[in-house]
Amino acid sequence: MRKLSLISFVLLLVSISTFAGGLLTNTNQHVLFLRMLARDASTQIDAVYSNPAGLAFIEDGFHLSFNGQSAFQTRTITSTFAPFAGFGGNQTKIYKGEASVPFIPSLFAAYKKGDWTFSGNFAITGGGGKATFNEGLGSFESSVAMLPLMLKDKFQTTSYSVNSFMEGKQYIFGLQLGATYKINDYLSVFGGARFNYVNNSYYGYLKDIKTNIGGGALINANATFTKMASDAAAAAANFPVGSADYIKYLTLAKTAEAVAEKTADLELDCKQSGWGVTPIIGADFKMGRWNVGVKYEFNTKLNVENKTKGTLPASTGDPKKDKFANYRDGVNTPHDIPSLLTVGVSYRILPTLRGSVGYHHFFDTHAKMATVVDPSTGNLVDKRNFVDHGTNEYLAGLEWDVCPWAQVSAGMQRTEYGVTDNYQTDLSFAVSSYSYGLGAGFYLAENLKLNVAYFWTNYETYNKVSKSYNGTGLSGSDAFTRTNKVFGVGLDYTF
């Protein structure tokens, strides 16, 4: 029964992001990003985040911007594992999770006077959604699916069923403050920091595990084997210690007790919180039709602390064997936000037409992550060991002034992750993608502008084949993909 490890139920690594960006970072904080994407050389109010050194070239005065986004994402995992046929007759199952955030606010502010500009913004800088898997995930069900194989010889079991559910929420709230200094007519620099607060919560369960003991109807496995263990122990007591009948019934009692323990209901309710500070520097060079912006966000040292409730197996005392080791109550887990380099170039092609390109690199291999078991060695390692290289993003966009009071724009982004097979699980996966955005801006007054946009992402499918699917010893595979749609509206105001 050792392989019937229902504590593979660990659902806490679920990575939920309804935004563009790296493994933990959101880059679409302003609607101007949604409708053009390549904003890394911006000299408008969204530069507070995308190119803070470029604020040296805005007009003197106060600049404010309030944005709201609605994001909707699906996460689809197609899992193939022969024992799944014991529940419904099909060895391939599709697990679909839905994440939605009806309203995601962000606020930008800047004040410029002379050579100095002071700025700040508040936004959800990481995570940003709730994902719900109403039927759990393959990593949960695969352990339960092993029941018929393990009990077939002794109890003639051929099928199973389980009630499984998982829901997770992740938010990283960011408050950024900084100052920009204009060195001369062409060059400016920025220095600042962002305070990050993590607020995650996860809830899930495995319960009402059933098997068809003796080939009959499905019945609750925990209740059945608990009673069987009790009855067998009582029967053993009727025979002399050491006799053949005593050993037979005592052995049955121990076997049934082990099955009852492994098929007990599990429930997990965990909240995580933590904070960290991100130093940020930047520079901007502007000459004629050209503008070049550079920004570097340093690695953010950050741990999250667990407040965990629920019905979990007792700790084994060995982190290599305790699948809940990182998520026990009071435990701190590394949750660093990777450092980020952005470079952008914009060019005014015509008086009414502008083009921009950009590049992002997330230094994922420098950021500490949770400790996990390396499936190839059995040793505990930092999960970043399963990242070959940092995330790369390539962006391009165009903006056209249709008339003095209206603009239209569009752009695209290519995101390439450097994760390996061992990083990818149905609990946490990253899939390379192409994102597209389009939208418009309208001057409602000389100092008031309305931005609207629609943004969507086409994700690739990542296929992973495992010789020992979720540690079961049998082969299986997962295919990971997503969909993502974001709508945005924002108001920019100057005075």
Measured between alpha carbons, how far is 99 from 15 in angstroms, rounded to an integer?
A: 11
Let me know if residue 303 belongs to a domain: yes
Per-residue pLDDT of the chain (495 residues; tens, 9 = 90+): 333 434 344 433 444 444 456 677 888 899 999 999 999 999 999 999 999 999 999 999 999 999 999 999 899 999 999 999 999 899 999 999 888 888 899 999 999 999 999 999 999 998 766 778 888 888 889 989 999 998 998 889 999 999 998 888 888 999 999 999 999 999 999 999 999 999 999 888 889 999 998 888 999 999 999 999 999 999 999 999 999 999 999 999 999 999 998 899 988 889 999 999 999 999 999 999 999 999 999 999 999 999 988 777 777 777 767 777 777 888 888 889 999 999 999 999 999 999 999 999 999 999 998 888 888 888 889 999 999 999 999 999 999 999 999 999 999 999 999 999 999 988 788 999 999 999 999 999 999 999 999 999 999 999 999 999 988 899 999 999 999 999 999 999 999
Let me know if residue 472 belongs to a domain: yes
Q: Which helix (H) or strand (E) holds 277?
A: strand 266-287
The residue range of the domain holding 33 is 23-140+167-203+274-494
Helix axes 138-145, 147-155, angle to 10 degrees: 10
CB distance 33 to 46 below 8 Å: yes
Let me know if residue 386 belongs to a domain: yes
Residue 370: phi and psi, rounded to 5, are -65, 150
Let me know if residue 50 belongs to a domain: yes
Of 439, 453, 444, 438, residue with least CA distance to 492: 444
Let me know if residue 187 belongs to a domain: yes
Helix axes 244-262, 221-236, angle to 10 degrees: 160
pTM summary value: 0.89
Let me know if residue 418 belongs to a domain: yes
Let me know if residue 68 belongs to a domain: yes
Let me know if residue 235 belongs to a domain: no
First vs last C-alpha separation in the chain:
71
CATH number of the domain within which 124 lies: 2.40.160.60
Percentages helix, strand, coil for the chain, rounded to the nearest 5? 20, 50, 30
- Number of domains the chain is built from: 1
